[in-house]
Structure 1
Amino acid sequence: MKNKLRIIGGDWRSRQLSFVDAPGLRPTPARVRETVFNWLRYEISGKQCLDLYSGSGALGFEAASRGAKSVIQVENNIQACRSLKDNIVALSATQIKTVQSDVLRYLAGDAQVFDVVFLDPPFGLSLVIQTCQLLEQNAWLAKHAKIYVETERHFDFFGMPENWRLLKSKSAGEVGYHLFERAEV
């Protein structure tokens, strides 16, 4: 596998992870991850995290490296799941669990409450709004959960849950990245 990325902070800082080359899989760039985890610096340690459309696992592994109590990675692609599981073994990352499933099907199942959610779906498939609505409607989120959403640069957030407040938003190249906070309904 030629595809590699480095964890940029925490216990596994500088450790290298391998991932597969799969359609729609584009790991969050290191400089974007650095900004996101600066935004979340006080929100990760000891928290329950959900990494949807996990792909390379960059966001979930970064959260675990920075002290997340648990991370659930949800990914549909079988080869990507194999890579995620191989990286879990390589890091002895007992706090990370990988679930091979379609994200929308997973969110239709029995809910578990998460403090932080990473949402980075393949671009161009119109999955962001529907995924955010399922997170809210099906009770997957803690009272003041933080939700990181990575989108195309010029994304229209019409239809997002009304009780979510945008805290931060930036762009890098063709990628927009945004941090929301859930207010209790």
Structure 2
Amino acid sequence: MKKNTTDDVIVWNSFRNGNDEAYILIYRKYVRDLYLQGLQFTRNKEIIKDCIQDVFTKLYKYRATIGETDNIKYYLLTSMRNQLLTTLSKEKIYVDTESENTNSESLFEKNIEEILIEQEENMTLEDKINLIMSLLTDRQKEAIRYRYIECLSPEEICSLMGLNYQSLQNILSRSLKKIRQYVKKDLPE
């Protein structure tokens, strides 16, 4: 068993047994991941924050009866995705992520200097990544994010997105092909 898996089991079981510090640790470690995932579905920051709150409220409320897991991140991403889909369908919100602003605000407090330095360092790279990601469909973006940013296994992604293995491979393959074509075209000769 990997160290992260072992750590997740220990923290998760401690939380399930009533340890509030474990709950806080889980929140602090994964809230940013959930927020970034929310941005894949909508740019409405209030809906994203509400869904995160709902996920953690339910988690706390039902902690004595929830099952075991050896991958907290996967468990929370699945819960967040389900919460977002439920909320968005109830609200009948149809999201066009191509036309919305791609800037995201942080849930974490940073001082002005840190923000300015980070923005300056990441501006060019972020612009290129956003341009490349804009070439992909929403489904391709979601698959790429889970696989290469969240580092989820293909099996976890298939379960999360409701795909079979071959469909996931096709989506990833087409996405990477589009990315390669753009990068190859963008490189100076």
Range class of TM-score, shorter chain:
under 0.3
More helix per residue: 1 or 2? Answer: 2
For CA contacts below 8 A with separation 6 or more, give which structure has more relative contact order.
2
* Largest Rg, 1 or 2: 2
Superposition TM-score, scaled by structure 2 size = 0.23
